[in-house]
Amino acid sequence: MIYLDNSATTKPHKEIIESFQQVTTRFFGNPSSIHQFGGDAERLLLKAKEQAAQLLEVAENEVFFTSGGTEGNNLAIKGIAFEHQNRGKHIITTEIEHPSVYDACKSLETFGFEITYLPVNEAGVISLHDLEAAIREDTILVSVMHVNNEIGSIQPIEEIGHICSQYPKLYFHVDDVQGFGKVPLNLERAKVDLCTISGHKFHGLKGTGILVKRNHISLHPLFHGGEQQAGIRSGTENLAGIVAMVKAMRLIKERETDERSTLRHLYMQLREGLQEVEGVFMNSPENGAPHIVNISVPGLKPEVMIHTLGQKNIFISTKSACSSKQLDESRIIKACGFSLERSQSALRISLSYDNTNEEISEFLDIFKKAMNELKKVMR
C-alpha cells in the first residue's frame, strides 16, 4: 500500500498504540476520583500536561486537552464569541479556513455576530493590508490557519500576530492542525493567544487534541459538567489517548528537526513529477508546506482517479476529509481565483515522514499510466 492521504489522517505508530494500551490497562482509574487509584491517573495526566507544555513552549495551565481539531477550533471561536460579545461582535477569518472554523463562524452569524472573510491571492495567502483594514473597534477575534489543509499555503502568522497585538481588545487564534510537526511555529514569538492541534494528524490517535489558551484569556465553555480542566473543558479526560498523543508530539517534533529536508525533497520530487504530466495543473504554491500537493485535472472527475488509484492500492483524496464526499467544487481552490473546471477537479496528495522516494516514484508512474487510460475515455 502507498498511503498519500496524510492530511486526512496518519497511521498511528506502533509505539503510540503500545503506550495507549499500557495506560488503558494500568491506569484506567478516573483522574477525578479521590482514591489512590484515581490519584495515580491524575499524576499521569499532570505529567502528560507538563510534557505537552514543554513541547509547545507554553505554561502547563495553558494546555487544554480536547477531542481534536474540530472541538478545539469551536471552543476557541465560540468560547471567545460568547464570553466577550458585550465588548464586540465582529470576528475576522479567511475564505480558506477548515470547515470547523469556517462553519463555526457561519453559525455565529445566526447569533448576530458579523464575520469578515478575508480573501486570498492565487497562492492562498491573505493580504496584511486587508487584515489591518478589516480590524474595527468591535473586533474581538482574528482566526487564521497556519497551513491550509487542501493546498498547503502558509500564512504569515508572526506578522499577523504582530498586527493583532497592537489591539488589546482582540484575540488571535491559529488553527495549527496541519502545521504542527511539519512547519515550525513559535507561539510566543507569533503572539498567538489560542492555538489548536490534533493528535491523529501526527501519528497519534483519533479523538485527541489540544487547545492552547493563554492565561490572560477567558472562554465560555462548550461543555458544562464536572468542571474538569479548570471548567473550560468538562468531561472525564481520555487519559490513554492523551498520553499517547503527547508521545506522538515528542516523536514528530524530533522528526521535524531531523527530517524536514527529507520531507521537502519528497515534496519536490512529487511536485516536479506531476508538473510533467500533460493536463495537470498545480494548485499548491511552491513555497507552501512540505507535505501537501494539490493538483487539478480539468475534465476528469476526482473520484474516478481516486477509485482508479485505489484499485492499485494507492490512496489520495480530493479536498478536506470533512467534506470530501461532497462532490462539488472546492471552496479553497475557488477562493484562490481558479476556474470552475479546476475547483471541481482537484486532487490532494499529502505526505508524511514515513513516505519514501520509491513510493513517490511508483505513484508517479501509476498516476501517469492512469491519466493516459482515462484520457482515452474522456475523449
Q: How far apart are CA 334 and CA 311, in angstroms?
A: 30
H or E element that contains 374: helix 357-378
Strand 90-94 versus strand 63-66 pairing type: unpaired
β-partners of residue 326 are none
Q: Is the dihedral of CA 64, 69, 75, 81 positive or negative?
A: positive
Task: State the number of CA atoms in the 13 A half-sphere of 262 facing the CB.
Answer: 11
Question: Residue 70: CB partners within 8 Å, gap ≥ 6?
Answer: 100, 322
Active site residue 195: no
Nearest to 268 by CA among 351, 202, 354, 182: 351
Helices marked H in 60-123 — which ranges?
69-83, 99-109
Nearest to 234 by CA among 245, 219, 223: 223
What's the one-letter identity of residue 209? G
H or E element that contains 295: strand 292-296
H or E element that contains 159: helix 157-165
Q: How far apart are CA 92 and CA 164, in angstroms?
A: 11
What is the b/e burial string over 170-207, where b = at least 16 CB atoms within 10 angstroms of the residue's CB?
Answer: bbbbbbbbbbbbbbebebeebbbbbbbbbbbbbbbbee
The active-site residue out of 105, 195, 322, 336 is 322
Q: How far apart are CA 188 and CA 58, in angstroms?
A: 8
H or E element that contains 194: strand 194-198
Neighbour tally for 287: CB within 10 Å: 11
Active site residues: 322
